[in-house]
Structures are given as structure tokens and as C-alpha cells.
Structure 1
Amino acid sequence: MATEALSAPGARADRDAGWRDVAAVLGARALTRLRIMNRAIRPLAWVLGAIAVGFWTLGQIAGWWEFTVAAIVIAITVALCALFLIGRTAYDVSLDLARTRVVVGERAVGALTLANRGSRAILPSRIVLPVGSGRGEFGIQRLSPGEEAEELFAIPTQKRGVVKVGPVSVVRGDPLGLFERAHRRDEPVDLFVHPRTVLFDGQSLGYLRDLEGLPAADLSRDDVSFHALLEYQPGDDLRHVHWRSTARTGTMMVRQYEETRRSHFVIGLSRSSADYSMPEDFELAISAAGSIGLRALRDSQRVDMRVQGRELPAATGKQLLDSLAAIEESKPRDGGIAELAGAVSATMPLASVVVLVCGSSVRSEDLRLACSRLPFGARALAVVADTTAAAPSLRRIGDADVITVGALDQIPLALQKVLA
């Protein structure tokens, strides 16, 4: 008996705890439902509800039946509009972009296909498609079972960036706009709007002779990668005479080598807002970095790109342009071109060529400091983007060549001056 008396309070406590857990779960579900219902109510519905309550109260207190009738009419109207939310819009939604990568200004189009795969007709609905910071709306008529509807749309590409298209939402609502319920039906798709770039030919900037590099197609009289034997010419180094072949042929023969090179092409692109006098200069700098990077990639060089705070993927042309499409200006507190050069030297000490890209607000002293921080032995080149410049110019700061360009098509001519 004593054991039963002791166990009864414990069992009661367990039951109370179980009921509290059940109540908490039910309360959470009810709260979730209320939030969903609250999102479906538009501001106009709240206003009409308040007017109906006010009219009803005034009619009951003052005895004016006109206000009572008006309150009843408003309440019935609101209730009828709420009935439009009943049911589900079971569309099979497909969002397709003709191209997921375009250049600034190119046409970008997409198609939105909605199909009724169910056994019942779907009432007219409204489709909302977010595109970047804006959104497009489409009215879909009644769809019978097995019927499809397709909507074509164009995406603005006047600005470089990554435009998020979607997710598609199917909106159910009433004719008066009192209630609206949205069902998300598809995942968003990223549209990469690449910067403009220019193609150009010319000698590569990214190679340095290095005994630990890889053999190249160019032949040399002095290196470590043996290629062939040639007849001695006046001026050849006697250390490379192949005496065994000389004794066998009776003609002095010397070794010929393939030139070994290493190539690590690094682009340091400043995105500090303090380095640019206007937004157009920043866009020109991005286009210049993309053009030079693509040239290096076509030369089969290893390309790395760095901005303030992080390294950007640039192993392929697609990765390079995708990275440039997503770049945004940073605050001056993140550092300027000198801090960027220091980060390049710390993370990429074996770079053979470093190209620093910045704006016209960078002083010559800052450029000199930045170039002095670059890896030892690397060839330094600075590109200054200044849209007010009428023609490209070349100057020398320390051991670095500094070119100033005012337009994208000036880059090939400016680089020719550097290689001249």
C-alpha cells in the first residue's frame, strides 16, 4: 500500500507533463496556422473588417439600422472573398532560361511552363516571378486536366551582376484583392550577367624563365631540358659541347635545349570604393581584369585572381567571368591597392606576373608602395581605369609598368606599348 501511495503522485506528474507536451505541440501548430492565415489577409481586408465592426457598433448604440445593414453587407462580402482561397493550385511548374550566362546588354529570355497534371480543372490564378529586385506577374486562365500554359519573359541585362530568377509563386486570391495566398512551386535560377571583355592577340605577359618550370616550344642555347644536337656556331658556350658526338662525326656538336618556363599569372583587382572616382571606372576595371585574364587563360597559363578579403575562382574562363559578375564594391576600411598587393605577396609568393587593376583615385605613391610589396622576381604591371582618359598612356613607377585606359578597346593598344 505504501508503494502504491508513493507511485501515484509520480504517475500523475508524468501524465501532467505529457499533457503539457501535447498542449505545447498543439499550440505551436495553431500559431503556425494563424501566421499562415495572417499572411493571406491583405491590408484592405483589415480595413474593411474594422469598418464593419465600427458600423455595427454605431448601429447598435445609435439605433441606426442603416449602419447595421452596411456592416452585415461588408462582413458577407469579406466572407465570400475568403472562399476563393479554398482549394489548391497543383501546377507542375517548369522554369527554363535559354541562357544562364550573358554579357551586359545581351538579350536574356526565359520560359515559364505550367501544366495541370491532376484530374480536376484548376481555376484562374496569378503567377509571380521575382527577377532580381523586381518581379513579373502573369495571369493564367483556367487549365483543364492535361492542359499546359506557357509564358515567355525577358530579363533586363543592362547591369553586370548575378540576377536571381524565381522562385515561382502561384497566387490564389479574390477579385477584390482582400485575400492572397501564395504557393512556392520552383527553385530559383541564377543568371550571370558577365562584364564586357575584349579579345586581343600578342605576346604573353605571364612567363618567366625558370629551371624548375615546364618545357616550352621555344628553343634555347642554355637551359636544362635537352632537345637536340646542333653544329657549333661561333659564340656558343663551349660548356655545352657534346664531345662524344664531336669525336664520332669529326664536327664540333653542341647541345640545344628547350626553354623551361614557369607561369603563374595573378590579377589583383581592387574593389575599394576609395580607389575609383566614379562607378563607370569600377566597371571598366572589371572589364580590363576579365580581358587580361581571358588572354592569359588562352595562353594556357595558371591564372589566379584576388580582391580585398578573398580569392576568386578563375581556373577557367567561365569561373573567371562568373566571379567578376558577382563582384561588388567594398568599403574603404577593407583596404586599398597597397593592402591588396600585400595579400597577393603573402598568398601567392611564386607568381611570375602580377597585374594590379585599380581606379584613377589611387595616387602614384600608393601604386609605388603596392608594387614594392609584390613577390620578389615577379613582373609587375598596373592597369588604371579612368573613363575620362581620351587615349591610353604608359608610365613607369619603380619597376612596374603602369598603363591608364579610358575605354575597353584601348587595352590591346596599351599592352602593345608595354611589350614594345
Structure 2
Amino acid sequence: MSTTVSRTQAELTNARARIVGTRDGFLADVIVLVVRSTSAAWRAVSGVARRIGSVVTPLGWALAVVAILGLTSGYVYGWLEAVVVGWSAVALLVVASGYLAGRNAYRVQLALPSNRVVVGEKAPGEVIVRNPVRRRLPGVRVEVPVGHGLAEFAAPSLAGGEEHSDVFLVPTTRRGIVPIGPVRTVRADPVGVVRREMVWAESLDLFVHPRTIAIPSMSTGFVRDLEGAPTRDLTASDIAFHALREYVPGDERRNIHWKSTAKTGSYMVRQFEETRRSHLLVALSLSSSDYGNDEEFELAVSAAGSLGVRAMLDSRTVSVVASARTPDFAKKIVHTVRRLSVVNRGRLLDDLASVELAPTALRLPELAQIAAEESTGISVAFLVCGSTVTATQLRASASHFPLGVDVVAVVCDEGAVPALRRVSDLSVLTIGYLEDLQKSLAKRLAT
């Protein structure tokens, strides 16, 4: 859901603002159109160049230039040496192109034992090369793109029906989604003039989840509701029946169980389990202005994940939202929030693995405003941000929630001493490490 916010263009920091500033008119639209068209044309030309460059190596291009210059200068000026050099380059190009002829009969498969790991854990991958034909096939070089890197393997010559496997480790030093593959085999000449790549397996995504920590069960933030879940608290008036007990003065007569009363000879009344509803909201700011550095942001993502996972373990209704960025060529700032999946723990951490900082993303007060408007029945709200958010901004963020909602701000300040303070009706938890979240929440529940 998107809602346009009435704010001045001077506040825009997207690509359009960098191109035309605050100008808005026909000329500005034409300039933006020219820039976008030029960028699209350049991407198309670059794509064609990449396809040609995927076959001809820089050495091959150099030989082609030598052949053209040698033959041209040799025949024009009568330089026999230049002619010899030119035809030698041509011969080398022709011989090298012969190595690209034919098809590669190998079958290559990419496998990941698990496509979800926690940051810092080992993530092994396996490449299996199989010979499906009867004749023996020569050795081949296998390449596996891993994120921005490349894993290379040399598969030996295989007889019919044989297979060869290699295991590699994917670096997981940072949270994110690491694309692995597609696996390709490379055929090239011995000199390295040309090479042809053949793609065999589809690309797989490895989800590197943020680190989470077990935190205490959040017992606050419950609202009495007949349609809620039963709790261990007993009451004389509800719908979740618990047991029978003897009548005491003050009990309502409508709760008397007459059949049991007739059997026991004394008045017996019904006792119920109190049903409560709890809707927990976790709002994660993605604005780069709300964080001092990347370490604070990674700490905030881990804190948001820990809160969401704990709420799921408590079987509570939970919503996790993050601020989305304004599109690059938008004329106005767009108020948007991104709702993360809360189907299960894995889906939530998958979405958290993909979140990134953005200078055009909504800041915490705006995120809190939209989250409060779009999420009804909230009983407790956690606002997760960095150390650059001021106390005034925290109070403004908390003011968007209705009375009765327990609002807690989790301020992530890498290496800071944990602290718990009150700002009006807002609880502010400052954490320097992820383990501080566990201690701070336990301290807050105790007080």
C-alpha cells in the first residue's frame, strides 16, 4: 500500500533530483527522458559487447588488431615482415576457433545441502559432473559463480557412466542472499585466444540469515479479548472453561453448575481461563540517516529478527514492517512500508536477509506513522533504529500509536553500554551487542 505524502521536492534525494533538482516541467521531463533513454541504450550496447566478449578474450582482440594492422600496412607499404605477422595472427585465430567446434556431452549438476545458513556458518556446495554417453570424454574446466567471486574446478577425463564431484565453501561473512551459479563448462584453446561457455545448471540462492538470540517471553502487551487465546490466568467470566469450584460469596449465580450442585450437595460454580489477544509490531528503519554505520544496521536487523522469532514462539500475532525507499525517478516522496513475511521463522529471516540501507527510505517517525495506520489492534510496538535517531524523533514516532499501546524503542549503538530509560510514555532500550537485548528485555520485564 502506498500513500503520497505532501512534502517539498527539495527533500528528494533520488536520481531525478540529482539530474534536474527541484525543476518540474516539460523541459525537466525531457531531460529525464533523454537520460533514461541513453542509459537504456548503453545497457543494450553493453549487453551485446558482453556476449561477444564472452567468446573472444582480450588476447583474441589483440591478435585481431595485429592481423588487421599487419596486413594493411604490409600490403600498402610493401613490408614483408608486417604481412608475415598479419597472416600468422590470422592463422592463430583460425586454429583457436577450431577448439570451439562441437558440443560438450557432459551433464553438470549443482547442489546445496542447505540453502539457509546463519551468518558466519559454513555453507558447502557441490558440483557433480557426469558422462552420460558411452565414449570417454576429455577433461573439462568447470566454473561456478559465487556472489561476486568465482569457484573453478578441473574435472578429469570420464568414461561412459562415470561422474566426478567437487565440494566448495561459500563465504557467509555477511548477511544477504548469495546467488550461486549457474554452473558453466568452459572450452578454450591452449593459448587463450577464444573461449566458449556452456551453462548447465540453474542458479541457486543461498539465504544468509542474520544472527538471532533467544530472548525472554514478552508477557506484556496483552489485551483482554474473548476471541483471543486462553492463558493460565483464571477468571470467573470468560468462554474457555477450566474447572469447577465451590461457591464463595460474590460469585455470579449464572455461573452455578446445577448438575454438579445436585450431586455434591453444595453450590459449584464454573471457573474459566482468561482469553487474551496480543498483536506485536516490529518496525525496522532502513534509512541510512538513522544509523551511524553498517555495524549498527546489522545489529538492528538481528534485533528485529530476534523479536519476531520470539513472538512466533509465543504464538502471538506479529507484524514485521520495514521502510521502503522512494523510486529513483519519482517526482514526490512516496510513503511506503514493506511488510515482511511472518508465515514462519524461515520466511521472516529470508526477508530480513534481503533488506538493505537506502538514503531514500522513510525515516523512523514516518515509518511509525504508516505502520500505526495500517496495523490495527496493536498491543505492543518495537521500533528498531540506530544511534543517530534523536529523543525528539523517538517521541514523535511513539506519538503515532494510540493510547494503551506499549511502545519500546530499540536503539542499536555498536559497542555502547546497555541502558534502559523512559522518554515520556516510551521505553528506550540502548544495546551495544545482540546479547544486550536479552538482558535489557529481562530487566524491563522485571521493572
Contact map agreement 1:111 1:151 (CA 8 A) in 2: yes
From 381, 386, 392, the equivalent of 2:408 is 381
8 Å CA contact 1:204–1:296 kept in 2: the answer is no
Alignment of 1:70-109 (within 5 A): 70-109=85-124
Residue 408 of structure 1 deviates from its aligned partner by: 0.8
Q: Aligned to 1:326, which of 354, 365, 369?
A: 354
- Mapped contact 1:358–1:385 kept (Cα < 8 A): yes
SS of equivalent residue, structure 1 residue 119: coil
Match of 1:41 among 44, 53, 56: 56
Of 303, 308, 323 in structure 1, the residue corresponding to residue 318 of structure 2 is 303
CA distance in 2, matches of 1:296, 1:43: 56
Residue aligning to 1:393: 419
Q: Is the 8 A contact 2:132 2:160 kept in 1?
A: yes
Structure 2 equivalent of residue 4 of structure 1: none
1:129 aligns with 2:139: no
Contact 2:215–2:441 (8 Å) recurs in 1: no
- TM-score normalised according to structure 2 size: 0.80
**What is the aligned partner in structure 2 of residue 55 from structure 1?**
70
The higher radius of gyration belongs to 1
Question: In the alignment, which residue of structure 1 is the partner of 2:256?
Answer: 242
Return closer, same or farther for 1:160/1:34 CA change in 2, 3 Å cut-off: closer
2:131 and 2:260 map into 1 onto residues whose CA distance is 86
Letter paired with 1:319:
R
Distance 2:176 2:50 in 1: 35
User: How far apart, in 2, do the equivalents of 1:39 and 1:322 lie?
Assistant: 33
**Cα offset, 1:121, TM superposition:** 3.4
2:202 to 161, 183, 187: 187
Query: Which range is displaced more, 335-344 or 117-126?
Result: 117-126
Native 8 Å contact 2:223 2:278 kept in 1: yes
Q: Alignment identity in percent?
A: 42
Alignment-derived partner of residue 351 in structure 1: 378
Runs (5+) with no aligned partner, structure 2: 1-47, 324-336
Tell me the secondary structure at the aligned position of residue 150 of structure 2.
Answer: strand
* Partners of 1:336 and 1:115 in 2: CA distance: 53
TM-superposed CA distance for 1:298, in Å, is 1.1
In the alignment, structure 1 residue 411 sits paired with structure 2 residue 437:
yes
Equivalent residue runs for 1:186-335 within 5 Å: 186-233=201-248, 236=250, 242=256, 251=266, 253-308=268-323, 309-331=337-359, 333-335=360-362
Pick closer, same or farther for the CA change 1:61–1:202 going to 2, 3 Å: closer
Which residue identity is paired with 1:285?
A: A
- Provide the aligned C-alpha RMSD in A: 2.6
Give deviations 1:99-119, integer Å, cap 9, x for gaps: 211111111111100111123
**Structure 1 alignment gaps of length 5 or more:** 1-32
Alpha-carbon shift at residue 253 of structure 1 (Å): 4.7
Whole-Å separation in 1 of the counterparts to 2:51 and 2:319: 48
355 and 36 in structure 1: CA distance in 2 versus 1, 3 angstrom threshold: closer
Q: TM-score, normalised by structure 1?
A: 0.85
Question: Structure 1's 247 and 388: CA in aligned 2 closer, same or farther, altered over 3 A?
Answer: closer
Q: How does 1:166-181 map to 2 (within 5 A)?
A: 166-181=181-196
d(CA) in 2 for partners of 1:375 and 1:243?
41
Q: 1:34 to 1:319 in 2, by over 3 A?
A: closer
Identify which range, 186-195 or 143-152, moves more after superposition. Answer: 143-152
Residue 290 of structure 2 aligns to which amino acid in structure 1? D
C-alpha distance in structure 2 between counterparts of 1:50 and 1:243, whole Å: 100
Secondary structure at 2:215 match in 1: coil
2-structure distance, mates of 1:180, 1:34: 15
Report the equivalent of 1:371: 398
Contact 2:221 2:405 (8 Å CA) reproduced? no
Instruction: Provide, for residues 118-155 of structure 1, a one-character-per-residue CA deviation record: whole Å limited to 9, x for no partner.
Output: 23433332222111122222222333322212111110
> In the superposition, relative to structure 1, how do residues 266 and 113 fare at CA in structure 2: closer, same or farther (>3 Å)?
same
Retained in 2: the 8 A contact 1:387–1:406? yes
* Residues 137 and 157 in structure 2, CA contact (< 8 A), matched pair in contact too: yes
CA distance in 2, matches of 1:359, 1:267: 15
What is the CA–CA distance in structure 2 between the aligned matches of 1:281 and 1:237, rounded to whole Å? 55
Q: Distance in 2 between matches of 1:322 and 1:172?
A: 37
What displacement does 1:212 show?
3.6
How big is each residue's C-alpha offset from its partner over 1:347-378, in whole Å with a ceiling of 9 and x where there is no partner? 21112221111111111111111111124533
Residue correspondences, number: 386
1:5 alignment counterpart: none
With 246-255 and 151-160 compared, the bigger mean Cα shift is at: 246-255
Question: Bigger shift: 212-221 or 146-155?
Answer: 212-221
SS at match of 1:381: strand
